């Protein structure tokens, strides 16, 4: 896979105006929602950086409400080595699994925990959150969000990506940024979505992240924008199980990239003496790991909805 997207120097974006490095806030001075567009929760997922720098470079300003643009794990991003392009996802902790009060208020320390603690008020202050991600494997883009009706209707209305991964029980392996605090509660009014925009290093992944970010802002009225023509019909999946790798011998029964389907009970992977079997008919695998690491996610098992 050629590296079409590469890091650029983010030092010019370090000094924001919110009192926190790499956070930029624009208040329209008029009532309206506070929308956060967040990039680089994972350090090697460059599409978010492409979209966030686009918003800043183009001088996109909200006509109502407030726009905040943030770059999350810049420290991991800066560790990027083209010879080992997957290593800069995180330095110590996965910045997208530590958004519970237990982690944030806990005694442990790491670059990611420090950054999450810095960004905590930024995430908490937003009504609506778009967290831009990409995938290791070259598969179609998709939304990921907790199964609150407000999230599903916003993602459907925005229209692209057309594929949705809905999480009725959360992620099962930690608290993601989009479920921090009130964002992770049924009664909250705000929408919080992850967009997985394609493969990490493809140019078109960055291009889609820009479009999704602009669509997200337009959906909440912060900018004007012609709506794209109706895209592909939505295809939704419900996350049933997150398999966390238990043993270094973890391996899939055949090479997987994501969106392959398995019959109920069919063997998907072995993990030491354990077997990963499809828990439902037409079980669909998402985000299969390309290099299993004990304690990290091996594969997401989902069921098609509708």
Q: Which residue has the tokens 């909440």?
A: 220
Complex with Zn ion: residue 66 or 134, whichever CB lies closer: 134
C-alpha–C-alpha distance, residues 66 and 127, integer Å: 10
183 binding Zn ion? (CB under 5 A)? no
Strands (DSSP E) contained in 153-266 are: 163-167, 192-199, 235-244, 251-252, 261-262
Q: Which of residues 36-55 bind Zn ion (CB under 5 A)?
A: 42, 45
C-alpha–C-alpha distance, residues 141 and 282, integer Å: 20
Complex with Zn ion: residue 25 or 42, whichever CB lies closer: 42
Complex with Zn ion: residue 34 or 133, whichever CB lies closer: 133
Complex with Zn ion: residue 259 or 262, whichever CB lies closer: 259
CB of 133 to Zn ion, least distance (A): 3
C-alpha–C-alpha distance, residues 44 and 78, integer Å: 9
Complex with Zn ion: residue 43 or 184, whichever CB lies closer: 43
C-alpha–C-alpha distance, residues 125 and 105, integer Å: 18
Q: Are 66 and 28 in contact (CB under 8 A)?
A: yes
- Contact track, Zn ion, 232-251, x by CB under 5 A: --------------------
CB of 209 to Zn ion, least distance (A): 12
* Count of residues near Zn ion by CB under 5 A: 3
Cα 221 from chain centroid (whole Å): 22
Stretch that binds Zn ion, among 35-43, 52-60, 163-171, 218-226 (CB under 5 A): 35-43
Of 149, 194, 254, the C-alpha closest to 41 is 194
Complex with Zn ion: residue 45 or 127, whichever CB lies closer: 45
CB of 45 to Zn ion, least distance (A): 5
CB of 98 to Zn ion, least distance (A): 13
Q: Are 14 and 21 in contact (CB under 8 A)?
A: yes
CB of 97 to Zn ion, least distance (A): 11
Task: Tell me the residue nearest to Zn ion as measured from the CB.
Answer: 133
CB of 67 to Zn ion, least distance (A): 22
Rounded to the nearest 5 degrees, what angle is found at the Cα of 123, between the Cα atoms of 118 and 129? 145
CB of 288 to Zn ion, least distance (A): 14
- Contact track, Zn ion, 113-152, x by CB under 5 A: --------------------x-------------------
Complex with Zn ion: residue 130 or 223, whichever CB lies closer: 130
Q: Give me Rg for the CA atoms of the chain.
A: 19
**Secondary structure element (H or E) that encloses residue 152, with its range:** helix 149-158
Of 116, 138, 286, 111, the C-alpha closest to 199 is 138
CB of 95 to Zn ion, least distance (A): 9
C-alpha–C-alpha distance, residues 286 and 238, integer Å: 11
Complex with Zn ion: residue 132 or 240, whichever CB lies closer: 132
Question: Do β-strands 251-252 and 267-271 pair in parallel, antiparallel, or remain unpaired?
Answer: antiparallel
Residue 188 tokens, joined = 């909250």
Binding site for Zn ion (CB under 5 A): 42, 45, 133
């Amino acid at each position: 896979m050629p590296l079409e997207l590469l890091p650029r120097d983010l030092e010019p974006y370090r000094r924001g105006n919110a009192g926190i490095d790499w956070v930029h806030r624009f208040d329209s001075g008029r009532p309206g929602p506070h929308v956060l567009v967040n990039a680089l929760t994972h350090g090697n997922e460059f599409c978010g950086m492409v979209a966030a720098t686009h918003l800043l470079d183009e001088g996109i300003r909200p006509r109502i409400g407030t726009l905040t643009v943030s770059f999350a794990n810049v420290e991991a991003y800066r560790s990027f080595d083209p010879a080992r392009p997957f290593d800069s996802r995180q330095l110590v902790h996965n910045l997208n699994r530590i958004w519970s009060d237990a982690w944030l208020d806990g005694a442990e320390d790491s670059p990611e925990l420090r950054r999450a603690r810095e960004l905590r008020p930024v995430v908490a202050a937003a009504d609506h959150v778009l967290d831009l991600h990409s995938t290791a494997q070259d598969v179609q883009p998709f939304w990921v969000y907790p199964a609150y009706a407000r999230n599903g209707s916003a993602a459907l209305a925005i229209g692209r990506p057309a594929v949705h991964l809905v999480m009725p029980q959360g992620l099962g392996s930690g608290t993601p940024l989009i479920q921090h605090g009130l964002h992770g509660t049924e009664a909250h009014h705000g929408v919080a979505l992850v967009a997985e925009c394609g493969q990490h290093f493809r140019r078109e992944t960055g291009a889609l992240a820009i479009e999704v970010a602009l669509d997200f802002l337009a959906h909440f009225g912060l900018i004007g924008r012609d709506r794209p023509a109706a895209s592909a019909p939505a295809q939704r999946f419900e996350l049933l199980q997150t398999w966390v790798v238990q043993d270094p011998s973890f391996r899939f029964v055949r090479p997987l990239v994501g969106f392959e389907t398995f019959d109920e009970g069919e063997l998907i992977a072995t993990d030491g003496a354990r077997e990963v079997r499809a828990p439902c008919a037409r079980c669909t695998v998402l985000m299969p790991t390309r290099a299993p690491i004990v304690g990290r996610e091996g594969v997401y098992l989902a069921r098609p909805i509708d």
